[in-house]
Structure 1
Amino acid sequence: MTSYDALLLVSFGGPEGPGDVIPFLENVTRGRNIPRERLAAVGEHYHLFGGVSPINDQCRALKAAIEADFAAHDLDLPVYWGNRNWSPYLTDTVRRMRDDGVRRAAAFVTSAYSGYSCCRQYLDDIDRARAEVPGAPRIDKLRVYYDHPGFVEPAADAVRDALAALPADLRDGAHVAFTAHSVPMSQPGRERYAAELADVSRYVAAEAAPGHPWDLVYQSRSGPPSQPWLEPDIVDHLEKLHAAGVRAVVAAPIGFVSDHMEVKYDLDVEAAQTAERLGLAYARAATPGTDPRFVAMVRELLTERATGAPGRPALGSLGPRPDVCPSDCCVREAP
């Protein structure tokens, strides 16, 4: 049995005021030579919400919920939180863990899938933070959990609720658009990422929307037009559905664990405005957030890893990912 003395919550981070927006976006795009004008354009998405991303407050709420769940199950472990791109930065959190005497921690990241940006980049972030902190604790990232019941079941309930929110006379013919963050076609692990998304979308559609047509679509692409990314885009998809005579759509952000900026802007503003312009009835499904099943999943993943328990829960057809990714899995080549 592996002995852990802390849990580390690792997330993306986001600005918490107007003055944070451009510095945050510079952190996100570091080394990619993104023009300043492009950063300013993306920054307007944040300024629509007062320059504040919801993700940090959501992490605070998730951390508090995990702590309460641990206490309710007599699991005496402190919970720390560190971000990739904004305060509290991961390196600062690892330093605090070391100073608190933590020797070995498990890391739960707010990304459910495989692939470079969903998994490998977080592993690299953890390695980089540890390298910057002499005497840093060992940190083991918990496995990919896109098909764990604690993620899938809240997603299915959210689709049911969104369908129920549509006008009754349009509900039966509604289409479900499962959405996820697009990535470049060249990104390592892209095939596995897309396969996992399709697998869990298929499962949720069968459980929550039997008989409803569904598609897997993407959002939030940020690369130049010349660079191929996963498609179709949600806005283009809505246009296509409208042209085909569809009258109602549910957007289900299956690729996300909480309502952060990509969900709030791309789905609640851009896609919603497109649907309104087209005359489509539109409902957006919720993300797991702090659903008690999702919170309990964190503890279950930790216990599973610590004990090496067999029979790990996994819905869908692909089966759970390994506890430890191979060292060459989804590695991005140096530029």
Structure 2
Amino acid sequence: MAYDALVLVSFGGPERPEDVLPFLQNVTRGRGVPPERLAEVAEHYQHFGGVSPINQQCRDLLAAIRADFAAHGVDLPVYWGNRNWHPMLADTVAQLRDDGVRTALAFVTSAYGGYSSCRQYQEDIARARAAVGPDAPVIDKLRQFWDHPGFVEPHADAVRAALAQLDPARRATTRLVFTAHSIPTSMAANAGPHGNRYPAQLAETARLVRAAAAPDLPYDLVWQSRSGPPHVPWLEPDVNDHLAALAEAGTTSVVVSPIGFVSDHLEVVWDLDTEALETAKRVGLDFVRAATPGTDPRFVAMVRELVAERTEPGGERRRRRLGELPLWDTCPAVCCVPARRP
């Protein structure tokens, strides 16, 4: 199929203090998150002036993609729409329609499968198209990219750079800790036709990054940023609990690599750079947090390669990937549907 545009689809974030609570209410609507938890998370944003880094990071990525497309002769305009805050995806779809776009590809700033990381974005796209009406363009989501070299290699280089900041005399007691956003265990277990690949894909990314960056070091995959009602079980261990356990077991130094994320937004700069760092100091661990891909040229080029897989003859046969898990181009409508609430 020929496409008329690319849409960068992201999570969104507040850009002034008065936006914080409405944004969080959008994020958590229907999930039963206690008001006190919303107030706690809102305070995290206020530490940064009520501004999430994610929107500026999307602007930077948008500019980098446009420049990369222009340099390589890709004649596709690039738009941007968010799930939870302005520019809202429905407004972007309306702009696409007004600009005469009939078919578009969507690059979602999440590398993995699962409900929150993939299926929900597809639902958001469908909801935005329905809001715009029958003239809304068709929008097809690009595939997941957890094991693409353009995602793995920047993470691996960041781990190497982080390790260089630690005392080499402590190498024997240094450990890699890979993190990703936790999800409810019921969501992780809800397979669908392809299986819920979120934990498995993350485990493979962790393996690939460690193999490229520091194959001699032990490593773990742990979880961060849980939310929701406290009685609902989520994937564990939490990164803070894990750091304390590592220190007790004799680890002296850690590199924490947020492989669940493509840029340094709030879940990175607060949950890791603030809370996890404080935990590490309290338990006596040397702690360095590795960077995320952001606008690394390899990550930006990956977006162009994913577009080429859909638009060029034989593009799918030229897919670059490093892992061994099953990979598919499109997801069926019943893939990663969330478990029903009791």
CA distance in 1, matches of 2:213, 2:158: 9
Equivalent residue, structure 1, for 2:176: 176
Structure 2: gaps spanning 5 or more residues? none
Query: CA offset at residue 38 of structure 1?
Result: 1.8
3-state SS in 2 of match to 1:250 = strand
Query: CA offset at residue 172 of structure 1?
Result: 4.3
Aligned equivalent of 2:251, options 246, 252, 255: 246
Amino acid at match of 2:70: A
Equivalent residue, structure 2, for 1:312: 319
CA distance in 2, matches of 1:56, 1:218: 24
Structure 1: gaps spanning 5 or more residues? none
3-state SS in 2 of match to 1:87 = coil
* Count of matched residue pairs: 333
Amino acid at match of 1:126: I
CA distance in 1, matches of 2:99, 2:340: 35
Equivalent residue, structure 2, for 1:42: 41
Query: CA offset at residue 76 of structure 1?
Result: 1.5
CA distance in 2, matches of 1:70, 1:208: 29
CA distance in 2, matches of 1:59, 1:147: 21
Equivalent residue, structure 1, for 2:329: 323
Q: Is the contact made by 1:164 and 1:171 (CA closer than 8 Å) also made in structure 2?
A: no
CA distance in 1, matches of 2:184, 2:32: 16
Amino acid at match of 1:210: P
Equivalent residue, structure 1, for 2:152: 152
Query: CA offset at residue 105 of structure 1?
Result: 0.4
Query: CA offset at residue 35 of structure 1?
Result: 2.8
Query: CA offset at residue 207 of structure 1?
Result: 1.3
Aligned equivalent of 1:256, options 253, 256, 261: 261
Equivalent residue, structure 2, for 1:29: 28
CA distance in 1, matches of 2:289, 2:171: 14
**1:289 is aligned to 2:294:** yes
Aligned equivalent of 1:332, options 314, 321, 338: 338
CA distance in 2, matches of 1:23, 1:228: 26
What do residues 204-263 of structure 1 show as CA deviations (whole Å, max 9, x unaligned)? Answer: 111111110100000001123321111111000000000001100000001110011101
Amino acid at match of 2:49: G
Aligned identity (percent) is 65
What do residues 156-203 of structure 1 show as CA deviations (whole Å, max 9, x unaligned)? Answer: 111111111112322343100000000001114584110001111111
Please identify runs of 4+ aligned residues in structure 1 that moved more than 4 A. Answer: none
CA distance in 2, matches of 1:213, 1:34: 36
Query: CA offset at residue 125 of structure 1?
Result: 0.3
Q: Which moved more, 1:310-319 or 1:267-276?
A: 310-319
TM-score, normalising length from structure 1?
0.97
Equivalent residue, structure 2, for 1:266: 271
CA distance in 2, matches of 1:273, 1:159: 20
Equivalent residue, structure 2, for 1:229: 234
Amino acid at match of 2:167: P
Query: CA offset at residue 334 of structure 1?
Result: 5.7
| Counterpart mapping for 1:1-335 below 5 A | 2-134=1-133, 135-187=135-187, 188-189=190-191, 191-307=196-312, 308-309=314-315, 310-319=317-326, 321-333=327-339
Query: CA offset at residue 314 of structure 1?
Result: 1.1
TM-score, normalising length from structure 2?
0.95
What is the alpha-carbon root mean square deviation over aligned residues? 1.3
3-state SS in 1 of match to 2:223 = strand
CA distance in 2, matches of 1:181, 1:223: 13
What do residues 133-162 of structure 1 show as CA deviations (whole Å, max 9, x unaligned)? Answer: 120111000000011110001011111111
Q: Is the contact made by 1:8 and 1:79 (CA closer than 8 Å) also made in structure 2?
A: yes
